[in-house]
């Protein structure tokens, strides 16, 4: 199978590329390297440096690679930037996605796996855990733009027969995560503690997120190649975990159990709590998370420690 992964130089996308290659698929990556890194791209994947907002870049990769499947990870994914720059957020996430969908139709791509968001789309949930059919009430431009493309997918399927699967991610974490890119508290806490900086927790530490390890996310993307056609799935751990719990876990793994965070004002656009119902993914995708939080945390912290050691040796 020929699979184009947009955003394949980023944290999540690059792992998905690796997973597809391990399964024997032919893979190409389209990435503008604004947040991703060329070093993340598997050498066995074809690489196209380009922007999904540039129709010429999109047409080039579709014409040359002719993908059977598009796995669409590329996005403006910074919630805070979306609040500051809603027009830019909409341009990248909506218009860029439309460029891909139109190219997919014209080049006879058969299937799109679209990476959406869970917490940012659902807003403050009325009850937990949150199923896929709960009301969509995003409280940020980012949540709006990511959810909007789900409607376009339904329309393109109806009009042109383009099949799709939507994966609404919880908070993905693991090796290659970057606090300056697809930011998450694991990356932020690890980098700050290892650098001797007192970590900051926004709010009082009770804010919860639903974490899922990167290897489990890769498996979900593999399952979505031929299962769950024209459906939407939550991809998460199915458990709510507070910021303070993640902080304590990272500190313990780094041998800094006595360290105290600095608390700062909660940032606009951030929901207070989320926990996702993943029963649909179990039933229709045959997918379930396999890596417990403690094991995923251990692997993630080890990655950041190793990177620090390699950097020190290079000096």
Q: CA 238, 129, 113, 120 torsion: positive or negative? A: negative
Of 20, 114, 142, 169, catalytic: 142
- 122 is known as an active-site residue: no
* Contacting residues for 237 by C-beta, under 8 A, at least 6 apart: 170, 210, 211, 212, 213, 216, 278, 289, 293
112: how many CB neighbours lie within 10 A of its CB? Answer: 25
Give start and end residues of each alpha helix (H) in the chain: 11-22, 55-65, 79-84, 86-90, 96-106, 119-122, 141-160, 185-194, 214-223, 243-253, 279-280, 293-314
Q: How far is CA 10 from CA 26, 77, 158, 179, 214, in A?
A: 19, 11, 31, 12, 12
DSSP state of 39: G
237: how many CB neighbours lie within 10 A of its CB? Answer: 24
Q: How far is CA 197 from CA 128, 193, 299, in A?
A: 35, 6, 22
Active site residues per annotation = 142
């Amino acid at each position: 199978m020929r699979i184009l992964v947009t955003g394949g130089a980023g944290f999540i996308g690059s792992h998905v590329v690796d997973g597809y290659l391990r399964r024997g698929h032919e893979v190409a990556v389209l990435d503008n390297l604004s947040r991703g890194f060329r070093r993340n791209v598997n050498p066995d994947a074809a690489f196209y440096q380009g922007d999904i907002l540039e129709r010429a870049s999109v047409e080039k990769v579709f014409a040359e690679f002719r993908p059977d499947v598009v796995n669409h990870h590329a996005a403006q994914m910074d919630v805070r930037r979306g609040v500051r720059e809603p027009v830019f957020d909409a341009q990248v996430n909506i218009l860029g996605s439309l460029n891909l969908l139109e190219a997919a139709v014209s080049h006879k791509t058969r299937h799109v796996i679209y990476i959406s968001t869970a917490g940012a789309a659902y807003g403050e949930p009325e009850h937990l855990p949150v199923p896929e059919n709960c009301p969509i009430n995003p409280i940020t431009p980012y949540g709006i733009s990511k959810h909007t493309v789900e409607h376009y997918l339904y329309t393109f399927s109806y009009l042109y027969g383009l099949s799709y699967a939507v994966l609404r991610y919880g908070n993905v974490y693991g090796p290659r995560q970057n606090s300056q890119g697809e930011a998450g508290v694991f990356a932020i806490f690890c980098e700050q503690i290892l650098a001797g900086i007192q970590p900051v927790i926004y709010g009082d530490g009770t804010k919860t997120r639903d974490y899922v390890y990167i290897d489990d996310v890769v498996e979900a993307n593999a399952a979505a190649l031929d299962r769950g056609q024209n459906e939407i799935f939550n991809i998460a751990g199915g458990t709510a975990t507070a910021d303070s719990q993640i902080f304590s876990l990272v500190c313990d793994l780094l041998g800094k159990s006595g360290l105290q965070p600095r608390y700062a004002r909660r940032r606009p656009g951030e929901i207070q709590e989320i926990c996702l119902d993943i029963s649909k993914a179990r039933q229709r995708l045959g997918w379930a998370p396999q890596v417990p939080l403690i094991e995923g945390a251990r692997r993630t912290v080890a990655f950041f420690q190793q990177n620090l050691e390699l950097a020190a040796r290079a000096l």
